[in-house]
Structure 1
Amino acid sequence: MSFETNKWIRVMCDYGADGVWDDDGVSRDPEALPLPPDLVGRILKWQEWYDQSCVDGVLPGDDFEMDAFVSEGLAIAQSVKVALPNWTVIYFDEANFRKYRIQSRSLPTFALSRLSFEYEISLD
C-alpha cells in the first residue's frame, strides 16, 4: 500500500530501517513521501544517528544521548505534520518505550498500551 493512499506515517527509528513506516508496519524510504528534500535529509540523518549508535543492532544504555535523540525525532515528526497537514503522523518515542518495557516486566501485559510511547502529532 502506498503512503499516498492511506496518508498515514510513523516516524520511528529501528536498526537498518529508514526512519519512517507505513500503517502496515513496513519501513519505507522517506524519499517516497511528498516532503521537502531538507526534511528527508533530517530523517535519514536521524536514522543514521540511531544506526551508528547501535551495538549488534541494539541501542546502548547510558552512553546514548536519548534526550537529544528523542527531541530531534519529535521535531522531525512535527515538521512532517506541517509538511503533510492532512496526514496522520504518529511519533514513536524511544525513551518512553524503554520505560514501558521496564514497567511492563512487573505488570500484566494489558496494563500498559502503545499510548505510553506512541502518539499522534497534531498541529495544535
Structure 2
Amino acid sequence: MSRKLSIRTEYGAWPIWDIDDFGYVDPTKLPLKPETIDRLLAWQATLDATLDQDYPPNSRFPSEEAKTAWRLEGINLWQQVQEELEPDYEVYYYLYYNNKKHFLRHPDELKQFPL
C-alpha cells in the first residue's frame, strides 16, 4: 500500500501533508530532488510572506496575478512531486474551493475549478 500525500499549504507549515497520518511532512525527509525541495520551500515562503501578522484576515497576495502565479506553481510542483515519488506514494493536490476540501489525483480534475 502506498503512502498518501498532498501538496498543501498553510501559514507556517510544511507544504506537504500526510493524508493518512494527519500531519505535515518535512520535504527533506522524502526522496525528492534538492531542486524540488527548494521549489516547495520557496512556494511555502511565498504564502507565508502574505500573512498580515497584525490582522490575519487581511492576509492576501499583492495582486491577482501574483496569486495566480503562486497557484500555478503549486500545480507544477504537484506534478513534479508525483513524478519523483510514484509509485511508492500517491500524491494529491489539496484544493479548498466553495467551502469544501478537494483532494485531486489527476490534473484533468482541475478543469472543474477556476484558477
TM-based fold match above 0.5: yes
> Paired residue for 2:4?
8
Q: Name the structure with the higher helix share.
A: 1
Runs of 4+ in 1 over 6 A off after TM superposition: none
| SS of 1:80 mapped into structure 2 | helix
Q: 1:20-48: CA deviations, max 9, x gaps?
A: 11122211210010000000000000000
Separation of aligned partners in 2, 1:26 and 1:40: 18
Q: Name the structure with the higher strand share.
A: 2
Question: Percent identity, aligned pairs only?
Answer: 25
Separation of aligned partners in 1, 2:69 and 2:61: 14
CA contact (8 A) 2:17 2:25 kept: yes
TM-score (norm 2): 0.75
The alignment covers a number of residue pairs equal to 101
TM-score (norm 1): 0.70
> Paired residue for 1:114?
101
Q: Where does the alignment leave 5 or more consecutive residues of structure 1 unmatched?
A: 102-112
Q: Where does the alignment leave 5 or more consecutive residues of structure 2 unmatched?
A: 108-115
- Considering Cα pairs closer than 8 Å and 6+ residues apart, tell me whether 1 or 2 has the greater RCO: 2
Match runs of 1:20-99 below 5 Å: 20-23=16-19, 24-56=21-53, 57=56, 59-60=59-60, 63=63, 65-86=66-87, 87-93=89-95, 97=96, 99=97
Give the alignment's Cα RMSD to 1 decimal: 2.2
How far is 1:63 from its partner?
Answer: 3.6
